[in-house]
Structures are given as structure tokens and as C-alpha cells.
Amino acid sequence: MTFYVPYHSQGWHGRIANGWQSLLEDVDGWLTLNPGESVVDFPSRQVRRVETPAGRVYVKILRSGGDAHGPRRWVSDLKWYLRPSRALAILRVSQALLAEGFVCPLPILAARRRSSWGWPTELFISYERLGTNLAQRLDTAPDAEATRAVLASTADELRRFHRAGFVHGDCTPYNLAFTDEGRLILFDNDRTRRSPAWLRRHQQERSLANLGLRLTQFAQSPEPFRLFLDRYADSAAEADRILALIRKRLKSKGLDFS
């Protein structure tokens, strides 16, 4: 079990894995000296891959922003200003996932710093977790039988995840991966959460609809997700609800793969 202790440095406040205090005592200086390799670079979100004496880590920096404009942007910024630390939320949900036997990147540091105007920046550092994502598994499947096996394994693992009460906040073929032993790895858990029972199924179906949308776009066909649902869904009614959500989202994007 990894223990976390309070972290305070140059305005950053959060929690750090015990044993990392010396290396990350001055995290700003460390990032300057170790910029690493850029993986994602947007105004509101940066991800870097950095080598350390203890292994490769991923550094995620989150700020307010995004694609919204006008009043929607004002609402988004206000939520970002008022909400509790997202980095600490990722830490907590990662701890909960790992404690219940699920696989996700192990957190190292979760911290927030506010500017002189009060605007927060979030910092989250985790160990690298190697795996082959669902898109890659499907792309390299040698035949239809192997494709069905990959989708069946994904359905079984996601059902177990959902029955534990969790909802993935960005469920896509790129954020679901597998270990060499076939265990599901949950990446990009910025908005992953344990949902209240009364809202859980609704949120899980919306999360699955996002997976279905992205999988349909990736495959240029609805067939892979239908195979997934054949294994996942408890009833035809549940499958129909999720497929209806996907059709609606595809239509909003001007797409039709029926």
C-alpha cells in the first residue's frame, strides 16, 4: 500500500506519495530541469512523459479553459474556480480503484496552486502504466474470432467496474487498455467517480454511449460495439437505450454508420 503525506511547496498544496518528497520538494524547479516529452499540449491541459531515477512518470497540468465560448465559458470558468481540487479527486478515485483490485496508474503527487487572482492550476503526477489500448487490440486482431474475444473481455471487465459503482468520465477505446495478463487498465481518470446509486445506471449508460460513439468512429462501423453490447447488456431494453444515445450523438455530428 502506498502512503500519502501532506505536500506544500511554492504555493502548491496537496498530497505526495511517501518517498518522493526529496525529488519533488521543488516541483517547479524539477519540471524546468526535466521537461520530458510532450504528449498533450493545449492551453487547458498539458501532459508530459518524464524519466526519473524511480522510473518513467506522467505529469498532467490542468487549467481552466476548453472549447466553450461566451456564457458557457463563463460558467465553465466559475465551476473551475469554485470546485474542489481535481488533482486530489483523481488521487482519491485512483486509491479507491486500486484498493478494490482495479488497475490504473499509481499516483505520486496531486496538488493545486492558486494564482494571485485565485485561479487554480492542478498538478497530477503518476507512474507510467504499460498496456495495449482497446483501439490497438482491435487493430491488430488477426480475425473475427479474436475481435470478438477482445470485445468480450472488455465487456466483462467494464461490467465488473460498473457493478462496483464506478463511472469512467472519458470512456474511449484509447483510455481502456489491457495488461499482458488481460486485466483492464483505466487511464485518464480525471472525471472517473463512484456514482450515487440513484444516478449510477444513467451515468454508466451515458459513459457506455461515449465508448460506443468513439468505437464506431474508430471502426467506421457500429458492429464492434454491437458485439460488445451482446456480451455486456443485461437486457435488450438496456442495449436499445445505449444504442439510441449513440445514434443521437452520431446524428449531431452529421454521421451515419447504420
Tens digits of residue pLDDT in 200-210: 999 999 999 99
Do 171 and 212 touch, CB atoms closer than 8 A?
A: no
Does some domain include residue 257? no
Q: Which of 127, 144, 174 is the last residue of a domain?
A: 127
In this structure, the answer to whether residues 120 and 181 fall within a common structural domain is no
Does some domain include residue 258? no
Average confidence (pLDDT) over 109-129: 95
In this structure, the answer to whether residues 117 and 18 fall within a common structural domain is yes
pLDDT confidence of residue 204:
97
Average confidence (pLDDT) over 18-26: 96
Q: Which of 80, 97, 127 is the last residue of a domain?
A: 127
pLDDT confidence of residue 66:
62
Whether the pLDDT of residue 110 is over 90: the answer is yes
118 backbone φψ class: left, alpha, beta (φ>0; ψ -120 to 50)? left
In this structure, the answer to whether residues 10 and 72 fall within a common structural domain is yes
Whether the pLDDT of residue 1 is over 80: the answer is no
pLDDT confidence of residue 31:
95
pLDDT-above-90 percentage for the chain: 86
Average confidence (pLDDT) over 27-54: 95
pLDDT band at 74 (very low <50, low <70, confident <90, very high): confident
pLDDT confidence of residue 68:
60
CA dist 3 and 10 (Å) reads: 22
Average confidence (pLDDT) over 128-149: 96
Rounded to 10 deg, the angle between the 223-232 and 144-163 helix axes is 50
Cell of 98: 486500486
pLDDT confidence of residue 69:
66
Task: Quick: pLDDT tens for 158-187.
Answer: 999 999 999 999 999 999 999 999 999 999
In this structure, the answer to whether residues 62 and 174 fall within a common structural domain is no
In this structure, the answer to whether residues 57 and 93 fall within a common structural domain is yes
In this structure, the answer to whether residues 9 and 116 fall within a common structural domain is yes
Number of structural domains in the chain: 2
In this structure, the answer to whether residues 149 and 229 fall within a common structural domain is yes
Q: Which of 127, 151, 178 is the last residue of a domain?
A: 127
In this structure, the answer to whether residues 120 and 154 fall within a common structural domain is no
In this structure, the answer to whether residues 105 and 81 fall within a common structural domain is yes
CA dist 140 and 144 (Å) reads: 11
Task: Quick: pLDDT tens for 2-16.
Answer: 899 999 999 999 999
Q: Give the domain extent around 122.
A: 4-127
Longest distance between any two alpha carbons in the chain, whole Å: 58
Return the CATH number at 179: 1.10.510.10
In this structure, the answer to whether residues 145 and 77 fall within a common structural domain is no
In this structure, the answer to whether residues 165 and 80 fall within a common structural domain is no
In this structure, the answer to whether residues 211 and 113 fall within a common structural domain is no
User: Between these two residues, 137 and 77, which has the higher pLDDT value?
Assistant: 137
What does the H/E/C string look like for the chain?
A: CCCEEEEEECCEEEEEECCCCCCCCCHHHHHHHCCCEEEEEECCEEEEEEEECCEEEEEEEECCCCCCCCHHHHHHHHHHHHCCCHHHHHHHHHHHHHHCCCECCCEEEEEEEECCCCCEEEEEEEECCCCEEHHHHHHCCCCHHHHHHHHHHHHHHHHHHHHCCEECCCCCCCCEEECCCCCEEECCCCCCEECCHHHHHHHHHHHHHHHHHHHHHHHCCCHHHHHHHHHHCCCHHHHHHHHHHHHHHHHHCCCCCC
